[in-house]
Amino acid sequence: MAEYTVTLNEAQEKALRWVAADPQDWVENFVTARCQAAIDEIVNLEVQRKLAAGETISGSKDEIVLAADIKSAEERDSEYLPDVLNNSPLPPDPFV
């Protein structure tokens, strides 16, 4: 299990406390919600891929994500950095 730490300066903390009664809870909820959205996106893509290939679909969402052969955003970005000199466009984002 991964753990992440965010350091805020005084102004950032004050601003976050202005919009969130419990900043720690707000950050955890935000990150968890974004992760769940990514899980749903990955599962949908994987289900579509398996259906098209005639493969069976089994397991929980977590199991499907863990078994999916996907690249991280960093890996995708490094493969598709635009060639500024030749004006090569970026490929479409599969999650948009």
> pLDDT for 3-35, tens place per residue?
999 999 999 999 999 999 999 999 999 999 999
The gap from C-alpha 27 to its chain's centroid, in whole angstroms, comes to 15
Please write the tens of the pLDDT for every residue from 57-91: 999 999 999 999 999 998 888 777 666 566 666 66
End-to-end CA, the chain: 27
What's the CA angle centered on 44, arms 65 and 33, to 5 degrees? 70
Taking the model in full, what pTM does it have? 0.76
CB contact at 8 A, 6 and 27: yes
CA–CA gap between residue 8 and residue 94 (Å, rounded) = 32
